[in-house]
Structure 1
Amino acid sequence: MTRSGSKVTVVLTLAALLAGVGAAAAAVGWQRLRHLALPMLEDPSLPPAASTHPIEQGPARALSEVARLPGRVSALLETDEAVWAGGFDTGVFRLERCEGGYLPVAALGVSGRERFINALAEHAGHVFAATYAGVLEIDGAGKLVRRHLKGIATEALLASGDALLAGTVEGVFVLRDRAFERVALTAHDGSSIRVTAMAATGHRLWLGSPNGVHSAALEALESAVVVRAAWHPLVFGVQAARTNVVLALAPWGEGVLAGTDNGGVVLVDEHETRAFELDERHANEVNPGAVAVWGDRVLFGTQGGGLIAVETRGVGLAASRPGGWSLPRVSAVGAAARILVGGEDGGVFRVESPVADAVGMR
C-alpha cells in the first residue's frame, strides 16, 4: 500500500471511531453522562463559608482631634500618667497635655527599624514598644532606657498578670530579671511560630500568626521542655474564613476574636472556629494590632470600614459602627478611660461618647 493510501485508511478509521463515540454518548443519555468525572462549581467536601452581614449604623459619635503625629499612627496606649502613641516609621511619642489637646514629644535615640512601632504595652511603670528591630523600654518621662531582643522583629506585646510577653518572628519571649527569655513553645509540627498578635483568657495563651491561631496553657511559659501549641486554622470550622492571616486578637469568653487581613472577624475557642464577615469589603480588613476591649465589646480598626464594634448576640456575633463615622481608615485603637483612635494621616482622635449599640450578625 502506498503512503497516501495508508493516510486515507487512518483518517477513515479515526472518523469511524469518533462516530462510534458519538453514538454511544447518545445511547447512554444525560442520566448516565452526568456521573462522569466533570468539573464541579462547588466542592461539597469544603466546610461552609462565613455568612455575610450588614453593618448597623448607630447614633452619630463625634471625633475630636487631640494630637497629630508626623505620619501614620500604628499603636495607642493610655496609662495612669500619660497617653502614648506609636508611629509607622516615626517612633514613640509621649503625648503631653497642652491647651486644646496634647503635644507629641518623641522618645530620643530611636533610629532605623526601631522607628516602626507595632505595639505598645505598660509593665512595671515603664512603656515597652515592639518594633521591627526588637523591643524598646521607655521610662515614664519618655526616656529610652533599654533595648531588648536586638535585631528580632517583634509584632506583639502582652502584659498578662505579672508577666510581659513579646511575640516575634522567632516565637514568644517573656521578660525575666530585666531581660527577655525564649519560651519553649512551638507550633503543632515543631516549627517556630511567627507571632502577629497575642491574648490571654483564663488559663490559656492565644497566638495569632499568618497561619491561623495557636494556643497553649499558660503553664507553658514556665516549662523547661518544649511544648507544642494546639493549632486552630481559620479556613476550617463550622463557618470557615477565607484567610488564615491573623492581625489582631482580643479575649472573648474562653477563646478569642481574631481580626484578619481580609476575612472579617473569626471566633476561635478550643472547640470550634466560626468566621463572620461584613458586607463591606474593607470593613473585613482589620489593621495590625488595631483592637481594644471596651466593656463587653471588642473594637476593631479597619482599612476602610472605620471603627467596628463587635459583641455577642444569641449564638452569633453582632456588629455596629457609629453613624456618620468620618474616619474610614482606623490604624490604631486604644481604650482605657476613653476610646482613642489613630488614622493614617497621623491624627489621634477621642471618640466623644460610647460606641453605638450593635445589632445582630449571626
Structure 2
Amino acid sequence: MTGLRRSLPAWVEILVLPAINIALAFLTVGVIVMIVGVDPLQALKLLVLGAVGSPESIGYTLYYATNFVFTGLAVAVAFHGGLFNIGGEGQAYLGGLGCGVAILALDQYLPIWLMVPIAIAAAALFGAAWAAVPAWLQAWRGSHIVITTIMFNFVASALMVYLLVNVLIAPGSMTPQSRGFGPSGQLPALAGSPLNLSIVLALACCVGVWLFLWRTPWGYALRAMGHNPEAALYAGTNLRSMTMVAMCLSGALAGFVGVNELMGVHHRLVLDFPAGYGFAGIAVALMGRNHPLGVALAALLFGALQQGGAELAFDVPAITREMVVVIQGLVILFSGALVNLPRPWLAAFRPRQAP
C-alpha cells in the first residue's frame, strides 16, 4: 500500500481521489434512495436545486459553509501538529460566549466599525483559552488530547446553560437567552439569507492558515512536530510550546463560529448555536486533506448537503431528515475510512517505472 500511495501524482491525490470518493458515496446513496422508492436522479436534481437553485438557497449554503470552514481549519491546524482536536464544539461555544459578552458590555457605547473587531478578537481569545487547558494538560501532564477535548465539550455546554439561566438571561425572559445585541453588534446580512460578512472572515482565515503553515518558521516547526516529534525535538523545536500554539490557534478558529452565528444570525446569546459544527469539522478537514483550499471546497460540499438536504426532505416526504444525515455520513465514510479504496485502481492506470 505504501508503494501505491507514492505512485500517485499530487494532482490525482488532491483532486481525482476525493472526487471518486464522493462519486462512490452518491452512488451508494442512489441505491438507498431507490430502495425507499424515490427516483435517484430526481432526488439529486432536488438536492442540487435546493442548494444552488436560487440566490436565497446559495446564501444558506454559503452560510453553512462558513461555519464548516472555521471548524475544518481548526481541526486541520491541530492535525498538522499531530494533535486530534475533538473539542471544536466546546471551543465554538466559548468563542460565542466571548463574542457575546463583549457586545453586551460595549454595544451601547461603540460604533460598529470598532465593535466588530473587538467582538472577533474576544471570540478568538475565549476559544483559544478554552483549547489551551487541554493543550497544557497534554504538554505538561501527559493527558491525552482526545479525552480532554471531548470532556471539555460537555463542560462548555454546562457552563453556557448556567450562565444563560442564572447570569446573562434577559430581564423578564422565560427563555435562556440574553438581550438582543445593539445595531453595532450585528453583522449585515447578504442575499436575503443568514449569510453575512463572516464569510469574509472565513476566507481571510483560509489565507492566514496557509501563510502560517507554509510560509512561516512556526508553521514549519508545527508541521515537523506532526510528522516526526523526535526529529523536531532534535532540531530544536520546543514541543510543549508548539503544542500550545497549535491548540490555541485551533481553538481561536473554532471560536469564530460564534461570530457567524451570534453576530450574523441570532443577534443575542443563545443555547446550542454550535449545532454539531465542531464535530462536522473533523470530516471537513479529512476530506480537504488538511489544506485550507481543500477545507474550503469540502465546506462548500457540506454546506450544499446541509441546505439541499433540508429542501429535499421538505419536497420528498419519503426522504426524512434522518436520510439526509445518512447521506452526509456516507460522504464522510467514503472520504475518511474508505479514502484509499480507489487508490489501487488509480495506480493501475499509471505505467510502471523502472527501478
Band the TM-score falls in, shorter-chain normalisation: under 0.3
TM-score by length of 2: 0.23
TM-score by length of 1: 0.22
Normalized per residue, which structure has more helix? 2
Normalized per residue, which structure has more strand? 1
